[in-house]
Structures are given as C-alpha cells and as structure tokens.
Amino acid sequence: MSRIRSRRPEIVFSTVVLSVLAWLGGCRTDPNSARGVAEKFVDAHYVRIDLPEAKGIVSGLALHKLEDEQHLTAGQIIDETTRMPTVRYRLLEEKSDADTASFVFEGTIQVEDAGQFTRRWIVTTRHSDNAWRVSNFEEFD
C-alpha cells in the first residue's frame, strides 16, 4: 500500500502535464485554414521579411503588391548579417464567411537602437481551388 501512495503524486503530476500538453497542442491554428494562412503571411512578410515565401501563399492584389515590393527592394540583401527588427503580433479581430475572411493583427516592432512602434495589418484571405490564399493586405499606424 505504501508503494502505491508514494507513486500517486508522480501519477497525478504526469497526468496533469500530459493533459496540459494535449490542450496546448489542440490550440494551434490549422495552417491550411483562413487564419493559418493569414498567420503564415504575417510571419513571412512582417516577421521574417521573406517576400519570396510570402509570395507563395498570395493571389490577386496581394500578389501584385508583393511583386511591387520586390521590385522596390531589388538588390537589397537580407541575410544573417542584416539587423532585423523583433516583431510580435496578436490577432485583434476576425470576420469570415464561406469564401473570404479578414483578420486585423496588431504588431509591435522593436528596432535595436531605434525604439519600438506599433502597426496594424489587415489581411484578407479568399478560398479558391480548394485552398486559402491571401488576396489583399494593408498596413496602418
């Protein structure tokens, strides 16, 4: 009987840890959902500043805007020596129907030796050809 009691705290602890991990795993956004694609776009475009990656999940006006950005930044190398800002963001608002969804994100951008500022991004997604793609995006102060 004493063996069972001595292991009970370990069993309870293990059960709690496994339950929390399962819960956290269930909270992740489906990367193929409208929101998942919008978050992938924000990560690629605003956090990592990886326009080719962002271009892979856009269409329509968003594609045109990214191509314009690529033209304007042609010749600018972003690599491991580039001083990158730290970007954190959170979802403020979500509106959706069957084929479109829009998301408002608030981003906090910290630039080393230059301070911090906040921006809002509206990312619109559209479902076509059995996939969600970013169809437009806008940035506001």
Give this prediction's pTM: 0.78
Looking at the domain assignment, is residue 15 inside a domain? no
Q: What is the pLDDT of residue 114?
A: 86
Give the CATH number, domain containing residue 102: 3.10.450.50
Looking at the domain assignment, is residue 8 inside a domain? no
Looking at the domain assignment, is residue 14 inside a domain? no
Q: How many CB atoms lie within 10 A of CB 3?
A: 7
Looking at the domain assignment, is residue 88 inside a domain? yes
> What tens-digit pLDDT sequence spans the chain (141 residues)?
545 555 565 665 555 555 555 554 455 689 999 999 999 999 999 999 999 999 999 999 999 999 999 999 998 887 788 888 999 999 999 999 999 999 999 999 999 888 999 999 999 999 999 999 999 999 999
Structural domain boundaries, residue 123: 29-140
Looking at the domain assignment, is residue 90 inside a domain? yes
Looking at the domain assignment, is residue 82 inside a domain? yes
Q: How many domains does the chain have?
A: 1
Token pair 């970007």 is found at: 87
Looking at the domain assignment, is residue 89 inside a domain? yes
Q: What is the pLDDT of residue 86?
A: 96
Q: Which residues of 107-136 are buried (b: 16+ CB within 10 A; e: fewer)?
A: bebeeeeeeeeeeebbbbbbbeeeebbbbb
The residue length of the chain stands at 141
Measure the CA–CA gap between 47 and 59, rounded to whole angstroms.
20
Looking at the domain assignment, is residue 94 inside a domain? yes
